[in-house]
Amino acid sequence: MSQPSSSSFPHRFDPDSDSDVNPRQDSSSAESDSGDSQVPRRLLSPRERFSTEEFSTGNSVQNSADNALGDEVVREPTSSPRLDDEMTRRHLPPRERRRHERARIQREMREERRRAAHEAASHAHHLPRDGAFAERDFVLGARGTAPAAPLPKRRMPLFLKRILWLVALLFVGQLGFAAFTAPQFEIKSVEIEGLSATPPESLRPFARRLVGQNILRAGRAAVENAARKVPTVADAKVVRKLNWPPKVALQITERQPLLKVGAGQNWWIIDQNGVAFRRSGPKDEAFYSVVAPQFKPALRQNLEPKTWGRVRALNAAIRRDNDLARTELNDANAETSPFWQLRRIYFDKDGLASLRVTRAAHREMLVRLGDDAWPEKLARARVALAYFERTNRKAAELDLVSLERPVWTPIVAQTGAKPAPDAS
């Protein structure tokens, strides 16, 4: 590195001298006089460079300000650790590390904003004062503004979260306790819905049990089970009403009659599930009567499941055949239609089905159907009964157990004997 010329250094005024003295020229002359002009200069400390005191430099005493004129100031990196360093923060607890990390991010953001503002100011300062401003605005508008960096998410301290959760739990618990104990939540009245054949007096004692109980913890299951014990009730359910004061409703699902089952004077009305729920009366003549040795009906007792399933299937086939016959004849009056009236359905111990049909001008006829193909056999029986009506034939029995070979038996004429009285 070449040394600057003596002309580039300023002069120093010496009050004891009559003229200005160049310090570089003095030192050069001193070095030339001593004969040691090639001795390298040592590095000066900051104290020697910037202090006004004089320090010894080996052979001669030099002024620190004179020796520091041509030296550069080199900034040395600090050796003290910063908390931004991960190795320095590793011994800190997690909360402190997160705090220092947030501080570092915020410092970097501030420096970035300061740098951007400085660049913008420098750019605006060097722009010419003419139409370049419009061009700059156009370019900046075309670029669009850069998306702002997302701010770090602030997290709630853990102890504060626990306090809030505890307060919320206490509040909810207090509300629940008040709802379960306050007299304002007591049931004031109970409605009974869905009654048709069941008398309301048989269910009111069960409904009164709910009056005065809390609507949230009322014993609904006990009332429902008690209501289901009524013979005509198939299902019962207690539901809450959306009104004030609190009110509930006892919804009843009644049993629907399907058939009459029994013998002699002991006839019971049976529902879809095969449960006998009441005795037959004069208003139940429209239901078909079923006689089977497997059935022993009693109140709230289920019939034999296998035979009852076959009875239901035959009953459905008969009703479909009746609807088909009325549709074809376009006549809803069964008394004037060729199809005879069904009086009873029989099932023997082997499960074979038979029908007892009757007509006003004829005696009863027994139609044997067997245990299979009931829809086809009922259609064949309808054709045969219409044939007997047209030909004025009187049959005592029609055997359709074998659909390919049907057999009918005529009524045997009785001569010289009085007809026996009808036991039925």
Write b or e for each residue in 55-75: b if 16 or more Cβ atoms lie within 10 A of its Cβ, otherwise e: eeeeeeebbbbebbeeeeeee
Q: How far apart are CA 397 and CA 117, in angstroms?
A: 114
CATH architecture of 259-410: 3-Layer(aba) Sandwich (3.40)
Q: Is the pLDDT assigned to residue 215 strictly greater than 50?
A: yes
3-class secondary-structure state, position 134? helix
Ranges of beta strands (E only) in 158-305 are 189-193, 233-241, 247-254, 259-263, 266-270, 276-279, 289-291
**pLDDT average, residue stretch 80-108:** 79
DSSP category for residue 368: E
What is the topology classification, in CATH, of domain 183-254? Ubiquitin-like (UB roll) (3.10.20)
- Which residue, among 252, 250, 272, has the nearest Cα to 261 in the 3D structure? 272
Q: How far apart are CA 175 and CA 383, in angstroms?
A: 75
3-class secondary-structure state, position 18? coil
The percentage of the chain sitting over the pLDDT mark of 70, rounded to a whole number, equals 68
Q: Based on C-alpha coordinates, what's the Rg of the chain?
A: 58
- Is residue 214 within 8 Å of residue 186, measured between CB atoms? yes
**pLDDT average, residue stretch 158-170:** 91
Cβ atoms within 10 Å, residue 399: 16
- How confident is the model over 33-50, as pLDDT tens digits? 444 445 556 677 777 666
Q: What is the pLDDT of residue 182?
A: 77
The segment(s) of the chain belonging to CATH 3.40.50 are 259-410
Here the tokens at position 75 are 């900034």
Q: Answer whether 0.75 is exceeded by the pTM.
A: no
The segment(s) of the chain belonging to CATH 3.10.20.310 are 183-254
Here the tokens at position 424 are 């039925």
> Which of 80-84, 277-281, 343-347, 379-383 is the least confident region?
80-84
Task: Please identify which residue in the block is written with the tokens 């009785």.
Answer: 414
Q: How confident is the model at residue 163 (pLDDT cuts 50, 70, 90)?
A: very high
Write b or e for each residue in 372-381: b if 16 or more Cβ atoms lie within 10 A of its Cβ, otherwise e: eebeebbebb
Q: What is the pLDDT of residue 406?
A: 86
